Every structure is written in structure tokens, then in C-alpha cells.
């Protein structure tokens, strides 16, 4: 897992998910602070076709295991804080 | 969409996802601040079987459209901030 490499690879994710993992469009999820294991699992599910999405099924198809690991490490490395409404 | 009702319903989500949407276990995603449209889509995908997960496929099966809307409103109402590593 190489978060620095993942940050570079995230250039292809940022239009929708943001470089900092805060989504730029409502149909895309925030990825900031999601766990390595969760992110890897979802990318591999999109790659295999187990999970389907118009955009992600295309994007994930060409990712190697190493790229998936690195991308996941980048987004997992971002710290998030949550504030509930009053 | 009734976030207050969703907060109550989230009692069944909190063991894994946290009441504040910060996941308690690595295999579950943070939900805090995800959009209404994204959360509703995922819950409906789990309910229909389009998306599958051991836990979520069971939990979502019994949710009504209104409950899905309310739960989504709760988690969407939580504000998050992200901090990238140096």
C-alpha cells in the first residue's frame, strides 16, 4: 500500500470523488477516511462485475491489484470528523 | 425525508456504521455526510438484491421506501470535514 502513489492515481477519481475524498457530485460517495479493506473490496467488486455502476464498472476494469491497494491507501489516509445536527 | 425519524431508525445501523455515521468496524463504510440520493440508491440496491452484502441484504429487505428516505436523511444531515495527510 503506497498512499503517495494512490494520491497520484486519484487524479482519475477526483472529478467525482474529490482528491480529498469529498464527493463533487451527489451520485458519488465521499471516500475520505473509508477503510482500506472497504475501499479495496468495492473496487474489486466493480472490477469483477459483482457490483455495478455505469462509471465505476468502466474505471475499475483496468485497475491492477496494486493500483487498487494504493488508491485505497490514499483515501483511507484522509482523516474525517463528523458533526451531528443539534 | 425526516431526519429525526431516521435518527431513531438508525438504532439498527449504529453497531456497524455509528449513530454519527463513523463506522465502528473496518468492513462497514462511514455514512456520515453521504448524499441523500447515494444512500437511498444503495439501500434500495441492497433491498432489491442488485447489490449484495451478508449483513445489508438482510437489514435492507424489511425497509420501506419511507424508512429508507428517513435513514438517508439522517446520515446525509451529518457534516463532515476531511483533512489530507501532509
- The minimum CA-CA distance between B26 and chain A, rounded to whole Å, is 6
What is the rounded average pLDDT of the residues A14-32? 98
Q: How far apart are CA B14 and CA A77, in angstroms?
A: 23
Question: What is the structure's pLDDT at A10?
Answer: 98
β-strand partners of B81: A81
- Helix A54-61, helix A36-48: angle, nearest 10: 90
Q: Which DSSP category does A82 fall into? A: E
* Res. B31 pLDDT band, cuts 50 70 90: very high
Q: Do A22 and B80 lie within an 8 Å CB cutoff?
A: yes
ipTM of the complex: 0.94
Q: Using one digit for the tens of pLDDT, what is the confidence trace for B34-53?
A: 999 999 999 999 999 999 99
Q: Would you kindly state where each structural domain of chain B is located, as residue ranges?
A: 3-76
Q: Do A82 and B32 lie within an 8 Å CB cutoff?
A: yes
Mutate to test the interface with B, among A24, A26, A30, A49 (most CBs of B within 10 A): A30
β-strand partners of A80: B82
What is the rounded average pLDDT of the residues B20-24? 98
Residues of chain A neighbouring B29 (CB-CB closer than 8 A): 29, 34-35, 38
Question: What is the structure's pLDDT at A1?
Answer: 86
* Res. A64 pLDDT band, cuts 50 70 90: very high
What is the rounded average pLDDT of the residues A32-36? 98
Top-level CATH class of A3-76?
A: mainly alpha
* Res. B86 pLDDT band, cuts 50 70 90: confident
Burial class (CB in 10 A: 0-12, 13-18, 19+), B68: buried
Question: What is the structure's pLDDT at B65?
Answer: 98
β-strand partners of B79: A83
Amino acid at each position: 500500500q503506497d498512499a503517495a502513489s494512490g494520491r497520484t492515481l486519484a487524479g482519475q477519481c477526483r472529478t467525482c470523488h474529490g482528491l480529498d475524498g469529498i464527493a463533487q457530485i451527489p451520485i458519488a460517495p465521499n471516500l475520505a477516511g473509508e477503510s482500506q479493506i472497504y475501499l479495496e473490496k468495492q473496487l474489486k467488486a466493480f472490477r469483477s462485475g459483482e457490483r455495478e455502476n455505469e462509471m465505476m464498472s468502466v474505471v475499475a476494469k483496468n485497475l491492477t491489484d496494486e493500483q487498487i491497494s494504493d488508491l485505497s491507501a490514499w483515501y483511507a489516509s484522509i482523516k474525517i470528523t463528523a458533526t451531528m445536527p443539534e
